[in-house]
Amino acid sequence: MFRSAAIATAALALLAAPAHAQTKDAEPATRAANEAIAKSLPLADRADFDDAKRGLVAALPDGLIAGAAGAPPVWNLKPYDFLKGDQPSATVNPSLWRQAQLNLASGLFQVADRVYQVRGLDIANITIVEGDTGLIITDCTLTVQTAKAALDLYYQHRPKKPVVALIYTHSHVDHFGGARGLISEADAAAGKVKVIAPDGFMEHAVAENVIAGNAMSRRAQFQFGTPLPVSDKGQVDAGLGKALANGTISLIPPNDTIKQTYETRTIDGVEIEFRLAPDSEAPSEMISYYPQFKVLNMAEDTTHTLHNLYTLRGAAIRDGRLWSKYIGEAIDRYGDRTEVVIAQHNWPVWGRDRVVNYLKKQRDLYKFIHDQTVHLLNQGLTPTEIAEQLKLPPSLAGEFAGRGYYGTVSHNAKAVYQFYLGWYDANPADLNPLPRAEEAKKEIDYMGGAAAVLGKARDDYKAGQYRWVATVTSKLVFADPSNKEARALGADALEQLGYQSEASTWRNAYLLGAQELRNGLIKTDAATSNPDLLKGVSIDLAFDFLAVRLNAAKAEGKHIVVNWTFTDPKQTYTMNLENSALTHVAGKLSDNADVSVTLNRATFDAISLKQRSFLGAVATGDLWITGNPLKLRELFGMFDEFSPNFEVIEPVKAKAE
């Protein structure tokens, strides 16, 4: 239901990922491609390595955060020891190998006087500023356990001051999920701890992946490579950090919201200027500047990688033009008075000149991709043509912080096209194509049949034409999922593409595709709801999610009206099933309802989490039903449960009714 479920599912899969003997070595064409990358980049430049290690106070002991008794570790860097070798493996793009080595830096680091970061205990960072009497913490990692471990590590080496403020930079779960590891909800509710967030935080923190959350959960496995084993032939990095931690996700609502473009707060003697940056890397995001320490925190708007304008797990397209503008304004406002720039991923940059140069390159990176994509689409080029043609200028391509370890120029260019023009390329032949499986059968037939296609594909594989081989074998698999030869050759091609990929996200997707072609889908029973996040979902959005679960065939010809009265909060809704569509209207009750339900929000949440049933709540007096209760039962019998185990690299199997 939530992005938290998507990432939690992915994290669990990573720890349980089996090693498969079927993986193969790098082919000569892959070795040659990776050697060419190594020669094209200044891999001997160690400045980033110096920055990543600078200010180390203490490393995470053994690189490990233990789990509960009998459970796998929450965090474990030991499997990544293979990255400590000086020479990259032939099965890893040497540029990605470098990024993966840098993201191994783990522990407590001093950034400036009274400013610390805990990095490498999760995919995201925790920033700690020492106030006069307590700690001001920015972001809290993905899980409660990693956040607590980060604070414990800090306390082992610094005075044990209480947390007086928690700042959320933006609405993505890897930045708020660990909140309960740092503070209690009671202290936040009482105002004992300030919890500060940008405008719109709660809405976007829970809403981004509610409606399409199940699909995002499955797709996130490909983005993060979580069902893959950690190895030089498997998962090596996540671009923004090492990987996803495995633990409990929480959310403590903010009690102080930044609403104006610029707002200043003085917290425990520390002045902080906040700058809202909505619809950049997240729909609700803000950067912050600490004049006392000359520290600029760019949240996730600048990191040591090209970021996503489109994220492969699926989400709304981000506006590269606006993103660039925010970075430019930060340079103008803070550049001449910033000595260190930090972010909530990767490592800092020190020195005023270096800071400004880094920010300028980040600014121009997103503006170039935006402007030149629009330039080409206005000449009639389509997304795939633009992605193939668009190349960064040498001044940007030569910057490691602009390399595509997480986002890529290719899929970001396609994102810009989609932002302006949508999915349709204007060619009428592409307006209403056949479904994938049906199209694949026709294509294979036109090509002379599966045997002929396989013969040609094997020749292309030997010639190193892995992109085309992956495409054509996918057609074979969609035409006939039982074609073992096509699956095997397709897996081999995807694997070589993964070995060549500079982007961790592309590598992960290719290698997971190869694994599933060879071994099938690793199924998960991960929960799809989280109690803390569910509390943040509006009733309106919860009803909308019920509507997308409606099985239209079961609802055909049915008309049911339900009145909902919530006693806490005091809200009323009329829900209407008609024409196989479920709608609702807030603030009114129907005089012609088939059934009326009265309950409080806590009971509704418990039923949504399957902790309670309708009948059980009636029996305890927490829910009242008037009218025909069988109508309510009939309605809820029409809702499907989404499985996170749907097929991606072959046709989705028909669901048995």
pLDDT in tens, 615-631: 999 999 999 999 999 99
- Residues 522-567 pLDDT 10s: 887 765 567 888 888 899 999 999 999 999 999 999 999 999 999 9
Question: Can you give the pLDDT at residue 55?
Answer: 98
pLDDT per position as a tens digit, 402-415: 999 999 999 999 99
Helices 3-16 and 213-224 sit at what angle, rounded to 10 degrees? 40
In this prediction, residue 2 has a pLDDT band, given cuts at 50, 70 and 90, of very low
Strands (E), 239-285: 256-258, 262-267, 270-276
What pLDDT is recorded for position 11? 54
CA 308 to chain centre: 10
**pLDDT per position as a tens digit, 128-160:** 999 999 999 999 999 999 999 999 999 999 999
Residue 261 CA, chain-centre distance (Å), reads 26
Domain boundaries, the chain: 3-372, 430-519, 537-636
Mean pLDDT of 584-601: 97
Q: What is the pLDDT of residue 1?
A: 32
* Interval 3-14 mean pLDDT: 48
Write the pLDDT tens digit of every residue in 24-52. 999 999 999 999 999 999 999 999 999 99
Asked if residue 463 has pLDDT above 60, the reply is yes
Q: What is the mean pLDDT of residues 269-278?
A: 98
CATH class belonging to 537-636: alpha beta
Residue 657 has pLDDT above 90, yes or no: no
The residues near 495 (Cβ < 8 Å, ≥ 6 apart) are 23, 24, 233, 510, 511, 514
Is it true that domain 430-519 has CATH number 3.40.50.970? no
Q: What is the pTM of this model?
A: 0.94
Please tell me the predicted confidence (pLDDT) of residue 535.
83
Cα 204 versus chain centre, distance:
14
Q: Are strands 595-599 and 560-567 parallel, antiparallel or unpaired?
A: parallel
Q: Report the chain's mean pLDDT, rounded to a whole number.
A: 94
- Tell me, what's the pLDDT at 531? 80
Residue 654 has pLDDT above 90, yes or no: no
CATH topology of domain 3-372: Metallo-beta-lactamase; Chain A (3.60.15)
Q: What is the pLDDT of residues 95-118, one digit of tens each?
A: 999 999 999 999 999 999 999 999
pLDDT at 69: 87
pLDDT surpasses 90 at 494: yes
